Structure 1
């Protein structure tokens, strides 16, 4: 069972000819509202990949909150741990240009009201895989992570968006998922080797006794740990919108590990899932099902050792 402790947002997406520069106003035809938030995105990605998922977070007592609850439930996600806050539901403003690049600004809203004690101890078991991101108050992440470790949960942290992580929290993790910039930042903060993302991943893994997964966009991803030292390629695609690709990778990876797959197989599914999520506009609507991932897997190249 996956327990996702994370953010829930409504995304307002605008397709523009070019991303605006500071001080510039860019007009477009309109906008669409789409479910989002890193926590919610990863929960949906994991559920569509076949996992049983519970979501812990918060929404406002407003229309966006009602839509988000219904959307998560439609994907079979347990929403009983989602609180209702006096703050409004979180909103992300997303601009996507013709090259599928984006910029995102997030109004956190109800996400700032999420508390670790929303999750009772009986939901933290050795059969639980806890998934965390960085869009909630960080002290609540670390409080829940410490309780989870004491109770024997496995835990994954996706350090997105990039932010400082205490060494004590890193040591409570089983799996750290970062992009190349986040890997270098975290390793550098700890005084470790930051000559390359691979070196940073190796140093983090060795120092913290965890597995470090570094996503590399169109170059795929690498994994370094006691039983991992390999690279997974990316599926060749022509992207439409990269929003949510990283969340899809983490969610599908968590689903594979929760199902008992070896890390190399789980990462192959995650790489394919992330690529497929770039083929349509929006984060959650573009996330693939397990069947779609199965169908595309044969097109993915082989894993390669990186040692």
Structure 2
């Protein structure tokens, strides 16, 4: 089983010619709503890739007692995610406000709401005991995520932690504590550089050097996603694996990183070696960019397999 501990949001998306600079107002013809939240996105991505395969996907999270919360729960269930560990709270369901420019790039502001009411106890031991992979992100309380990761490690569960957004810690010791309970760290280029800076080993603008620093110094396999350049896995011994990305004309890149994480979790849970799991994850992320919305384009298992077979 794959278990996701993380955030659930409703995304409100406006399309613009270009993303506003600080202090600037830009106009959009309309705003659309989509299901989102990094945790929910990764759960849906994993569930769709898993559907028809041997893996089940469950999620621990929190939503509000409001229409957004009801809709988010229904969407997760319809996507094949076990929602038994999602708690309904008095806080409003989380919302993300997203602008997408004409090239497909995006800027995101998140109102956390119920996500900050999520506790480690919301993931029961009986569910964690069934997991082979636990997936975490950085949109719920860090202390609770850290406790869940430590519980998973003690239970022999592989911990995949997506440090997005970059943890709001300043001390090397605090970052080291997070990395110590991480088996596979997934970051993009900017997150890799930021983490290297936090631990006091600046790498300039070389994100692969940053990934090497993180992996060598703290022990996890560090996967750096690099958009159209694919993804790189860096082992503690310095070994590297590169998975390429398929060329596409993106419609919306929102959720591509989450699709990668969900696809990666599925591959690892099914016992694929990391290079093969990354290849599948890159292909899933590419397919997700062809449709507007974080979850709308996340591929089903049969579509992904067909895409890979045609490469």
Range of TM-score over shorter length = over 0.9
Q: Is 1:219 equivalent to 2:241 in the alignment?
A: no
- Return the match for 1:87 from 88, 91, 96: 91
User: Counterparts in 2 of 1:1-307, with a 5 A limit?
Assistant: 1-50=1-50, 51-125=55-129, 127-163=131-167, 164=169, 166-192=175-201, 194-195=203-204, 196-225=206-235, 229-298=240-309
Deviates more, 1:58-67 or 1:193-202: 193-202
Contact 1:252/1:270, CA 8 A, preserved across alignment: yes
Q: Evaluate the alpha carbon distance shift between residue 193 and residue 95 of structure 1 in structure 2; reply closer, same or farther with a 3 A threshold.
A: closer
Contact 1:193/1:199, CA 8 A, preserved across alignment: no
Deviation at 1:273, TM superposition (A): 0.7
Displaced runs of 4+ in structure 1, greater than 3 A?
Answer: none
Contact 1:126/1:151, CA 8 A, preserved across alignment: no
User: What SS does the aligned partner of 1:222 have?
Assistant: strand
The whole-number CA distance in structure 2 between the counterparts of 1:162 and 1:221 is 18
Contact 2:160/2:183, CA 8 A, preserved across alignment: yes
Q: Normalized against structure 1, the TM-score is what?
A: 0.93
Deviation at 1:146, TM superposition (A): 1.3
Deviates more, 1:92-101 or 1:19-28: 19-28
Structure 2 unmatched runs, 5+? none
Aligned residues: 300
Q: Evaluate the alpha carbon distance shift between residue 63 and residue 194 of structure 1 in structure 2; reply closer, same or farther with a 3 A threshold.
A: same
Deviates more, 1:218-227 or 1:42-51: 218-227
Contact 2:175/2:198, CA 8 A, preserved across alignment: no
Deviation at 1:295, TM superposition (A): 1.8
The whole-number CA distance in structure 2 between the counterparts of 1:124 and 1:8 is 19
Deviates more, 1:217-226 or 1:65-74: 217-226
Contact 2:134/2:158, CA 8 A, preserved across alignment: yes
Contact 2:162/2:185, CA 8 A, preserved across alignment: yes
Structure 1 unmatched runs, 5+? 301-307
User: What SS does the aligned partner of 2:59 have?
Assistant: strand
